Structure 1
Amino acid sequence: MIESLKKGGLLLLIFVLATSGLQAQALKKVTLEDVFKKGTFSQKSVYGINWMKDGQYYSSLVNRAGFPAVVKINLATGEEEEVLLDGRVLGINFTSYSFNADESKALIATDVESIYRRSSKGVFYVVDLVTGEKQQLMNGEKISYATLSPDNDKVAFVKENNLYMVELATNKLTQITTDGEWNKIINGSADWVYEEEFSMAQAFKWSPDGKKIAFIRFDETEVPEFNMQLWGKLYPEDYRFKYPKAGEKNSEVSIRVYDLASGQTSKMDAGSETDIYLPRIYWTQDPNQLAFIRLNRLQNQLDLFHANATTGESKLILSEKADTYVDLDFNDNLQYLSDGKSFIRTSEQDGYKHIYHHAMDGSLIRQVTSGPWEVSELVGVDEKAKKVYFVSTEASPLERNFYVIDLSGKNKKELTPSKGSHTINMSPDHRFFIDYYSTADSPVVVTLKEASGKDIKVLEDNAELQDRLKSFALGKKEFFSFPTVDGTELNGYVIKPADFDPNKKYPVLMYVYGGPGSQNVRNSWGGTRDFWHQALVAEGYIVACVDNRGTGARGRDFKHATYANLGKLETIDQIEGAKYFAKQPYVDANRIGIWGWSYGGYMSSLALMIGNDVFKTAIAVAPVTTWRYYDTIYTERYLQTPQLNPAGYDDNSPITHVNKLKGNFLLIHGTGDDNVHFQNTVDLVNALIAADKQFETFYYPNRNHGIYGGNTTWHLYTQMTDFLKRKL
């Protein structure tokens, strides 16, 4: 009896092993074609959410048989009830929409073309939602940032550096500014450097009553021009635009308010110093009171002003200073409460980004949140219930979860306890929210929820993608941390082949960005680069990533550690990461490589040169090679000016370290990069030649910082894959 059981158990074991072997064989390897040609791993989501005024519905932009449509969704059921805009009926293939305050009209855009990273222009229409009639603005000329007025009957926009307004009932056009001129004066939209580094493109706002428009005016006359050649014609064209490199002249900025009734424009008093930044304007609840933020050139002092929108007279409300720099919140976490008596903001002043409640005179009422974790976004303030909703890293720097807390700072509650990353879109009445939730292993699931966190309906579960993923041999993203030689704890992840054998020796490719406040090591769904890494893993590589000092989500001290000396500590930490992997028994210590893009290309270049004893190979895509060539706002925030801190610019430039190059180096750049100029790569190439170093390089004609378009992405990643197969 025992013998027969042994035989049966053995047969069962053989069957299980054989079956699992067949299953493993049946799983497909991720290929470059899957990632870049077939879109095999593209995830779906829910776009164009617009909460409607009655609190019972929201609208969403969907695709219907190849045409855009805006549908109305019942919040109680999650079901579609009505089509509000139908692109097929309108005969317009629109890509964005917005409603006026009473939801009687919609503003839609089509034929939109990008200018730089956030700026664009397109053809705009106003659609009457009752009659279905459409009204084309400016006879179809392309305009930027068309915005409906709060009182429903006007649209403001920017065209050719001037601010305009049109009255919808009469089609009467008012040109608010007349001095706009290319490469000289800009009204109502940001100059290049504000757009890139202060995350803004539109630079005007309607007052709450629709009677005034506040706007920022940029005088870039004295800003030096940068010249890019555009290839493809018999004689290449010059493209010249204003780009202030570190230490050079910035635009002179001023804030103006246009009064519709009088037709007069007033200038707000921002002080006598002109070498400043004015990166944000806000209307308070008082339609004649404008708020604005002023930063000094070194960005180590942030001032909040309130100004009389008629006279321009201003008053300093609060000031925050730092030995390094004061963080300007790019999520616009400044909200004026409807009682007109107070406002909410975020600040890093206690060492971590937290929420503060101030009276209108700037005095502190209380710090609402506190602890050794960061508020990543202030989602909303429910004034009636006296509750504040926010996303934070309290659970872990790798996670993002949604919380609610009383305005008093008590009774904090987590609303999304699932581990992973939650992005929140909350209704203005704070009764509902849409949760975009993902982990490193699972694509986004979009769920409509009650404010309590209770599910109403799953709007997108990416079930098709989930099923598709099961047929591929994917490496799992494993998170870890390790101490460096000086005791700093660093977070990282590693992806091993699905058929990983601990007795084998694998080559390792590290992926780096590493710039101030950035974060690559997160428990969230990745994108194209993650699946390129999976394609490499399928070929027998291990892919790893380490977030060095200077990166985000771990408090001010960790982030500001690299101040005035960019590149030094970050490179040390990446080398420490490589040494950590070199000690692992499953790693071939002689085959460790690193790659990165932009700041990551800067890092991979430095790592290969300074860490020539641990790194064999590096790829640098669109790298900064000297901070002297990068823009004022970003560079001086972290390095001061070249005049004040020349060593900070030169000591950790890859150009300075070319003599240390020993390994295999691939350098890639787009010649049309308006952000990190091709000049960076040209000068590094010259230095490498002078140092008699052999390397490989490739340029993409006319491609910008993203290096895409047509067959470009496929070509780029195929080239990098081939290089790694040859050199790693």
Structure 2
Amino acid sequence: MPEEIELDNMNEPSTRSSSSQESTVSRAFDELDQQARMLPDYEDLSLEGDTAPTIVTTKRFKRSWVIGVVIVFILGYTAVLLSYRNVNYDARTNYSLNNTSAAESLSSVGQSASVDSGTEVSTISEHLIEQESSSSTQPEESTTSRTPTVTLQELDVRISRESIPRKVYHSRVDAESVTFLPGARMSKAEDEGLYIQKYDDKVVLRKMADPQYEYVLYPEGTFTYNGLENILLSVVSNSDGQLLLFASEAVARFRHSAEAFWYLYDVSTKEITQISGKGLNGVKLQHCSFSPKARYVTFIQEGDLYIYDVVNKSNRRITSDGDGYQIFNGKTDWVYEEEVLGTDNALWWNQDETRLAFLKIDDTDVETLPLERFSSGVFPTVEDIKYPKPGEANPKLTLFIHDTERDQTDTVDRADSKLGEEWICYGALWIGDSFIIRESDRTSKVLDYRVVSKDDGSSIKYSIDSNEYNGWIENFNEMVFIPKNESSSRVNHGFVDIVQSEGYNHLAFFPVDSVSPRILTKGDWEVVSIEHFDAEEELVYITANRESHFESHIYAVNVNTGEIFSITDISKPGFFTANYSPSGRYVVASYKGPELPRMIVYDTTIEHKEKEKRAIDFTGSRTRYHTVKLSDGETVDVIEVVPPNFDASKEHPLLVNVYGGPGYRMLHRQFHMGFEDTISQALDAVILFVDPRGTGGQGWNYRSYAKRHIGHWEPRDVTEVTKLWIESRTYINPEKTAIWGWSYGGFTTLKTMEYDKGQVFKFGMVVAPVTNWLMYDSIYTERYMDLPKDNSEGYKEARIRDLEAFKSVKRFVLMHGTGDDNVHIQNTYKLLDLFNLHAVVNFDLMIYPDSNHNINYHNSYGVLMNRLTTWLRDKFEL
């Protein structure tokens, strides 16, 4: 999808999901420091003197800067409480700015740029959203020179629901997130929660069962092979940490992929073996991972699939027709990596390692997109990638299953399919001896669940037609295996998946013998993700937004009865993701807000009534959450952030940030330190984040506004809610209003300026925008817009076309990288040509040579963020 996300860590196992090996706090403060140094007048915040009390004392607090982070927060918060005066935020909704959060003191040096237009907006700590003051004494109401002309109609953002029981497990606050070692099914008694960490040039094995345990698997940050020293960049482990895969000389390719040299290291013998199917000839691997029990290493080299037998120390070549450019075996091409599977591979092992399923992706007929490189050499170089566009040729797939015992590869029969030769694979899963694959038509409207088994062959067991709920198909979640349990009257294996039920995404159980789903959850809320199955408790762990659009709590659902329990405390706002040990004994919950992020480790074998201990408890009310009713009765969600020294008696500039992509939710109740906070502090500006209709988290009626109508509702909703905000708040300067966005957000910004014609938004900042959806990739675009021949008016409306409207905007700026493989710079160049034809000259332009969609090549990211800040400062005339 058109959004910027950082390249996945290479040390992750080959799975369909990813978990960072760094803590949220660590990343936040690394970015904070980086952004602070970008801005003018950088101030050194190093602390001297008193230190803060220790919150958690475990051996994992060896990273002293984590403690420094805590010190900054506590001392900063104390200073703020002593120095900030109470300010009336808004008498109409009884707001208060008492107890300003510690995060505000940090914003004085500028905060990290959150430029991923598709990354959820996380937010600063606050009280619950009930419309009452956080202080019993209200300051006197401020007076302004402007009178509000309207009153916003708002709804409660937290929904009152029937109470559900909570499972309260033993918990402790931890310093960092972890990625557990992959393991075969085991009992909770056997599960010690093994994981590895790489720090201080060492690779160590740790246990959740014993926080003091540390076993060094490899002692250095380099390794020597054939007399040459290699820098150890990433590590992948087998289930017990005794076999490791080392990566060196990695070069990032696209969002989730990289090419690198890979080596197998045996911890017990200290033997190192290079993994390669074509000799040690300098050909890097496109993928490398262990099979479930680590009998094999699966790797892809120049588009061909190999397996290395760890026991026999021999290679087996599975395919021979790959080229790494247009024929990929087990490897995702650009569009499958970006829009469909979200990973660098398309291969699936069964648990006993006897069968390996994989896709062959054939891009022979797909058009080529040239990416020019300018910064090295006298002449530019060109890299070609296969990039399918709407209405043009798509990749063609073939599904194979390799039998390791017979050393034979068979093609899966799909003769009964009615999805066409350009069908899409939306994920797959082994269930015992059966292989389940989700297949969709080219425009992602029909989903077939195909079952492939040794005994019964290949057949479609269940189909979903998204037209029945006016929606579409996409990879909302990977399926999760549910083993049979005859004592629970579950006589066959099955799986759980997310499906539409009564207009919302919910959890469903599919028995593999019939593959007819039984819906496990219900209500006007949505299951966000399926996380893990606890076989001993018969519980499926999920995250869901049951309490609020803005939140994500952890729940457990009984796979037999559908009874639902909360795991996290749903009585107060929160946003959680989670990571699970193989048996589900240990749950590492990543609390991302609204208060200070932290990791909470639950031991599900110890259940009691105590509540979790909290690392730091501080509150503030700088950030507020709103659900606003528009003139036609529909609602949009809004987050407002006000500057640290906010004064309601004066007028402040306004910056609106928007993404708006179909089905995507940007607004969340997370702790936030980003570019917008920097702008708020530096320019004394009010910030609004807006999720217009068509975005996710509120059911299919809401999502479906985007179907066949990209670019219609986003500008209307963003403009109307901003206009209402200005008219109902006296503290907004209507002449100093700006909108900005990146990627799809850049498109939404352009469409909003086009629609608004300078009436509400006087300025705009646009980064890497789509300007005509005929130039974006086919799978993403056709999922929402259908084929161009079937929706010509929709495609026409969606492009940037009213060029005269831009002349009414005071000033706007366009920025794009020439090496953008996602939203190709052709989008901006075509728009510039149209601007020339219509004599539109009231804009500024910055091109970043060789930068991809992240715009981070040769220091360009820092330059871009600084330019956005100074550009907006100049336009607000500060």
Provide the TM-score with structure 2 as the length reference. 0.74
Do 2:252 and 2:258's aligned partners in 1 also have CA atoms closer than 8 Å? yes
Aligned length: 693
Looking at structure 1, the residues matched to 243 and 82 of structure 2 have their Cα atoms a distance apart, in angstroms, of: 61
Choose the corresponding residue for 2:838, options 680, 691, 698: 691
- Is structure 2 residue 791 aligned with structure 1 residue 626? no
Going from structure 1 to structure 2, the CA distance change for 1:447 and 1:44 (only over 3 Å counts) comes to closer
Does the residue aligned with 2:447 lie in a helix, a strand or coil? strand
Partner of 2:199: 64
Q: Offset at 1:347? A: 0.4
- Is structure 2 residue 587 aligned with structure 1 residue 445? no
After superposition, what is the alpha-carbon deviation per residue over 1:147-205, rounded to whole angstroms, capped at 9, x for unaligned? 22334332111000110112224432222111112433111101111111011321112
Q: Offset at 1:123? A: 2.2
Q: How is 1:325-340 mapped onto 2 (pairs within 5 angstroms)? A: 325-338=471-484, 340=492
- Is structure 2 residue 523 aligned with structure 1 residue 371? yes
Partner of 2:401: 257
Mean Cα displacement is larger for which, 52-61 or 546-555? Answer: 52-61
Partner of 2:559: 407
Q: In structure 2, what residue type is equivalent to 1:70? A: V
Looking at structure 1, the residues matched to 265 and 339 of structure 2 have their Cα atoms a distance apart, in angstroms, of: 34
- Is structure 2 residue 808 aligned with structure 1 residue 674? no
Do 1:609 and 1:662's aligned partners in 2 also have CA atoms closer than 8 Å? no
Partner of 1:30: 107
Q: How is 1:291-330 mapped onto 2 (pairs within 5 angstroms)? A: 291-308=436-453, 313-323=457-467, 324-330=470-476
After superposition, what is the alpha-carbon deviation per residue over 1:532-559, rounded to whole angstroms, capped at 9, x for unaligned? 4334333211111111111111111111
Looking at structure 2, the residues matched to 17 and 623 of structure 1 have their Cα atoms a distance apart, in angstroms, of: 39
Q: Offset at 1:460? A: 11
Do 1:51 and 1:57's aligned partners in 2 also have CA atoms closer than 8 Å? no
Looking at structure 1, the residues matched to 291 and 515 of structure 2 have their Cα atoms a distance apart, in angstroms, of: 32
- Is structure 2 residue 78 aligned with structure 1 residue 20? no
Do 1:270 and 1:314's aligned partners in 2 also have CA atoms closer than 8 Å? yes
Partner of 2:781: 635
After superposition, what is the alpha-carbon deviation per residue over 1:652-702, rounded to whole angstroms, capped at 9, x for unaligned? 312344545411110110000011000000011111111111111111001
Choose the corresponding residue for 2:664, options 497, 514, 518: 518
Q: Offset at 1:94? A: 3.6
- Is structure 2 residue 378 aligned with structure 1 residue 240? no
Q: How is 1:369-518 mapped onto 2 (pairs within 5 angstroms)? A: 369-417=521-569, 418-442=572-596, 444-451=597-604, 476-518=622-664
Q: Offset at 1:95? A: 4.3
- Structure 2: 5+ residue stretches without partners: 1-78, 86-98, 115-122, 124-173, 225-229, 486-491
After superposition, what is the alpha-carbon deviation per residue over 1:365-393, rounded to whole angstroms, capped at 9, x for unaligned? 63111111111111222233322221110
Q: Offset at 1:500? A: 1.0
Q: How is 1:687-726 mapped onto 2 (pairs within 5 angstroms)? A: 687-694=834-841, 695-726=843-874
Choose the corresponding residue for 1:573, options 694, 703, 717: 717
Q: Offset at 1:57? A: 2.2
Looking at structure 1, the residues matched to 672 and 251 of structure 2 have their Cα atoms a distance apart, in angstroms, of: 27
Do 1:31 and 1:535's aligned partners in 2 also have CA atoms closer than 8 Å? no
Looking at structure 1, the residues matched to 232 and 608 of structure 2 have their Cα atoms a distance apart, in angstroms, of: 34
Q: Offset at 1:93? A: 4.7
Partner of 2:254: 116
Do 1:435 and 1:447's aligned partners in 2 also have CA atoms closer than 8 Å? yes
Going from structure 1 to structure 2, the CA distance change for 1:29 and 1:354 (only over 3 Å counts) comes to closer
Using the aligned pairs only, state the percent identity. Answer: 26
Do 1:515 and 1:551's aligned partners in 2 also have CA atoms closer than 8 Å? yes
RMSD: 3.1
Q: Offset at 1:475? A: 8.3
After superposition, what is the alpha-carbon deviation per residue over 1:277-304, rounded to whole angstroms, capped at 9, x for unaligned? 1232321211xx3221110012110001
Mean Cα displacement is larger for which, 633-642 or 425-434? Answer: 425-434
Q: In structure 1, what residue type is equivalent to 2:752? A: A
Choose the corresponding residue for 2:358, options 212, 215, 221: 215
Does the residue aligned with 2:425 lie in a helix, a strand or coil? strand
Looking at structure 2, the residues matched to 123 and 330 of structure 1 have their Cα atoms a distance apart, in angstroms, of: 32
Q: Offset at 1:51? A: 6.0
Q: Offset at 1:599? A: 0.3
Looking at structure 2, the residues matched to 435 and 192 of structure 1 have their Cα atoms a distance apart, in angstroms, of: 32
Q: How is 1:346-361 mapped onto 2 (pairs within 5 angstroms)? A: 346-361=498-513
Going from structure 1 to structure 2, the CA distance change for 1:341 and 1:310 (only over 3 Å counts) comes to closer
- Is structure 2 residue 655 aligned with structure 1 residue 655? no
Looking at structure 1, the residues matched to 81 and 356 of structure 2 have their Cα atoms a distance apart, in angstroms, of: 72
Looking at structure 1, the residues matched to 589 and 525 of structure 2 have their Cα atoms a distance apart, in angstroms, of: 21
Q: Offset at 1:493? A: 0.8
After superposition, what is the alpha-carbon deviation per residue over 1:112-142, rounded to whole angstroms, capped at 9, x for unaligned? 2211111112222222233333322224752
Going from structure 1 to structure 2, the CA distance change for 1:17 and 1:559 (only over 3 Å counts) comes to closer
Looking at structure 2, the residues matched to 188 and 645 of structure 1 have their Cα atoms a distance apart, in angstroms, of: 34
Looking at structure 1, the residues matched to 507 and 645 of structure 2 have their Cα atoms a distance apart, in angstroms, of: 47
Looking at structure 2, the residues matched to 680 and 360 of structure 1 have their Cα atoms a distance apart, in angstroms, of: 46
Do 1:490 and 1:546's aligned partners in 2 also have CA atoms closer than 8 Å? yes
Does the residue aligned with 1:80 lie in a helix, a strand or coil? coil
Partner of 2:319: 177
After superposition, what is the alpha-carbon deviation per residue over 1:80-131, rounded to whole angstroms, capped at 9, x for unaligned? 3423343448566544434335654233333322111111122222222333
- Structure 1: 5+ residue stretches without partners: 1-15
Going from structure 1 to structure 2, the CA distance change for 1:429 and 1:618 (only over 3 Å counts) comes to same
Do 1:498 and 1:538's aligned partners in 2 also have CA atoms closer than 8 Å? no
Partner of 2:285: 143
After superposition, what is the alpha-carbon deviation per residue over 1:587-619, rounded to whole angstroms, capped at 9, x for unaligned? 112221100000000011111121121110111
Choose the corresponding residue for 1:281, options 411, 422, 428: 428
Do 1:519 and 1:552's aligned partners in 2 also have CA atoms closer than 8 Å? yes
- Is structure 2 residue 274 aligned with structure 1 residue 126? no
- Is structure 2 residue 177 aligned with structure 1 residue 46? yes
Looking at structure 1, the residues matched to 192 and 614 of structure 2 have their Cα atoms a distance apart, in angstroms, of: 18
